[in-house]
Amino acid sequence: MSDKGFTIWFTGLSGSGKSTIAEMLYHELKARELKTEILDGDEVRKNLSKGLGFSKEDRDTNIARIAYVANLLTRNGVATICCPISPYRATRDAARELIGDFVEVYVHATVDEIAAHRDPKGLYKKALAGEITGFTGVDDPYEEPLEPELVLRTLDESPEESLQNVLTRLEELGRIQDAAPRVSGDRVHSGMTDLRVGDDGTVTKEH
């Protein structure tokens, strides 16, 4: 396998499972001795995009910054995992055009499904009740990918099944040689996503 970089770009609603799968994939790619980094939407906002709001212009700026960094990493042989919501199709398409070696994965779950099953802070319920405005998928649009390389249905799949689907697709695309999972058990947190961490430093299971 060459050390050529690529970007795998997870897109989907908040709570759909993007960061969970990104964390799992990170450890799988590291186990294959690939140079690997994660660009998580919330973490980038805290650092690279501090001060940006959630207007369409600010959301587009945040995604453009993520794409810029992903392009630099990809050009330097890094397997780059991006997992921002990235709600607008045009900005995702612009990221694809900029980066080139781009694998789009749509992490699919509906607002109703997430509100019912994955809304520990009650944010979707508040947005649906009109208590929060500008919430993606409720009163702010989410534009589904038209031709992603892969669709994951995380309300029907376990995280392990979703990960296997990603690994299989990456093998089909020639990005990795072997789709068999290499990491099992608890995973030490990468420090690159906003997933909760247990006292032992491992990722807290969300499902």
* Beta strand pairing call for 79-82 and 150-153: unpaired
d(CA 178, CA 175): 9
Angle between helices 89-99 and 56-75 (to 10 degrees): 20
Active site residue: 86, 158, 184, 190, which one? 86
Beta bridge partners of 107: 152
Assess whether 19 carries a catalytic annotation.
no
Measure the CA dihedral 88/94/100/103, to 10°: 0
Active centre residues (catalytic): 86
